[in-house]
């Protein structure tokens, strides 16, 4: 099987590419390297073919998808704050870009399309955990764009028979996640702060909760999605456990032995107070269960910092 991984030099995409190569698949990575890094492909994915291109370039996508049996789509502008700062750019990359990749996959005759969606489509659900059949209510352009991508997947499955599987990621973390970005996710920022012996910054009181899932578990879910018998499937990918940011700080304090208290700043617009996943669909239809605990994943992140 030959698989195209868009965004394959990024944080999650490179782990997916590594696992695909290790599983004996022929892999082609497409990335524009705006946030993806070539060094992320130094592992198993060093054997992948690399195409430098953007998902907004339909011609480049058609060429990259040619001859591929499946497409795993991770290329995205992955930031709620960035989408609020520039909603049009978020739409062009995350919504229109997804449609471009779907059309390229269809033209190439790919048999399976796996789409990396997001828990951001749920919005501030009244009663977590979020179930896949809950009415979506995104409160950021990023969430709206991911929901549009899901709708395009459904339309391509219904109208053209392109087998799609949507994976709704909750809070993915692990090595290769950039702590230096203005919009960096919380765990790499916290881990980098403890590594540098400085207090981490929390936006809000720290009692907001997230469902954190380790990146290698997420990569494994992508391989399961390639083989899932239920095309048209939508599944949450998470641990099914709500964890407060204060608990993450406490775990890092224990792991590092560094008694650092966080600095609190005002909450950011578009951030959801609580997020947790119902995981029964992934367990039943993908055979997916996360293997790494929060503490094990945090230790891997700290070890990756040297």
User: Could you count the other beta carbons within 10 Å of the beta carbon of residue 69?
Assistant: 16
Q: Which residues contact 17 (CB under 8 A, 6 or more apart)?
A: 5, 8, 27, 29, 41, 44, 45, 48
Half-sphere exposure of 75 (CA within 13 A, CB side): 31
Task: Give the pLDDT confidence score for residue 183 in this predicted structure.
Answer: 61
Task: Give the pLDDT confidence score for residue 126 in this predicted structure.
Answer: 65
Closest CA to 113 of 94, 100, 96: 100
pLDDT for 232-287, tens place per residue? Answer: 999 999 999 999 999 999 999 999 999 999 999 999 887 888 989 999 999 999 99
User: Could you count the other beta carbons within 10 Å of the beta carbon of residue 228?
Assistant: 20
Residue 182 has pLDDT above 70, yes or no: no
Residue matched to tokens 């070890």:
303
Task: Give the pLDDT confidence score for residue 128 in this predicted structure.
Answer: 84
What is the rounded (10 degree) CA torsion for 279, 283, 287, 288? 30
Full-model pTM: 0.95
Instruction: Pick the more confident residue, 306 or 151.
Output: 151
Active site residue 122: no
Residue 223 has pLDDT above 70, yes or no: yes
Q: Which residues contact 46 (CB under 8 A, 6 or more apart)?
A: none
Query: What are the tokens at 13?
Result: 């995409």
Residues of the chain with pLDDT > 90: what percent? Answer: 91
Task: Give the pLDDT confidence score for residue 74 in this predicted structure.
Answer: 98
Residue 29 has pLDDT above 90, yes or no: yes
Residue 125 has pLDDT above 80, yes or no: no
| Domains of the chain (ranges, CATH numbers) | 2-172+213-238 (3.40.50.720), 174-209+241-275+295-304 (3.90.25.10)
Closest CA to 1 of 73, 68, 51: 68
Residue 99 has pLDDT above 80, yes or no: yes
Residues of the chain with pLDDT > 70: what percent? Answer: 98
The pLDDT confidence band at residue 294, using thresholds 50, 70 and 90, is very high
**Candidates 122, 142, 152, 169; catalytic one:** 142
pLDDT for 43-98, tens place per residue? Answer: 999 999 999 999 999 999 999 999 999 999 999 999 988 999 999 999 999 999 99
Task: Give the pLDDT confidence score for residue 93 in this predicted structure.
Answer: 98
């Amino acid at each position: 099987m030959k698989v195209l991984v868009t965004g394959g030099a990024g944080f999650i995409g490179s782990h997916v590419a590594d696992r695909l190569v290790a599983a004996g698949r022929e892999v082609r990575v497409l990335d524009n390297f705006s946030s993806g890094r070539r060094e992320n492909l130094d592992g198993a994915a060093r054997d992948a073919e690399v195409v430098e291109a953007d998902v907004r370039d339909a011609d480049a996508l058609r060429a990259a998808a040619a001859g591929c049996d499946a497409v795993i789509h991770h290329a995205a502008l992955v930031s709620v704050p960035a989408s609020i700062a520039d909603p049009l750019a978020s739409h062009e990359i995350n919504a229109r870009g997804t449609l471009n990749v779907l059309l390229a996959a269809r033209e190439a005759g790919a048999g399976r399309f796996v789409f990396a969606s997001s828990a951001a489509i749920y919005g501030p659900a009244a009663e977590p955990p979020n179930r896949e059949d809950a009415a979506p209510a995104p409160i950021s352009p990023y969430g709206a764009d991911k929901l549009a991508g899901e709708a395009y997947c459904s339309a391509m499955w219904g109208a053209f028979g392109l087998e799609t599987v949507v994976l709704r990621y909750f809070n993915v973390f692990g090595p290769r996640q950039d702590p230096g970005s203005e919009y960096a996710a919380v765990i790499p920022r916290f881990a980098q702060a403890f590594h540098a012996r400085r207090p981490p910054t929390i936006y809000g009181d720290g009692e907001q909760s997230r469902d954190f899932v380790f990146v290698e578990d997420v990569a494994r879910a992508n391989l399961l999605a390639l083989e899932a018998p239920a095309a048209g499937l939508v599944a949450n990918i998470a641990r099914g456990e709500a964890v407060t940011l204060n608990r993450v700080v406490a775990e890092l304090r224990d792991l590092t032995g560094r008694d650092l208290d966080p600095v609190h700043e005002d909450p950011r617009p578009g951030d959801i107070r609580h997020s947790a996943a119902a995981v029964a669909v992934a367990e039943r239809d993908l055979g997916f269960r996360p293997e790494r605990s929060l503490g094990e994943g945090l230790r891997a992140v700290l070890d990756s910092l040297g």
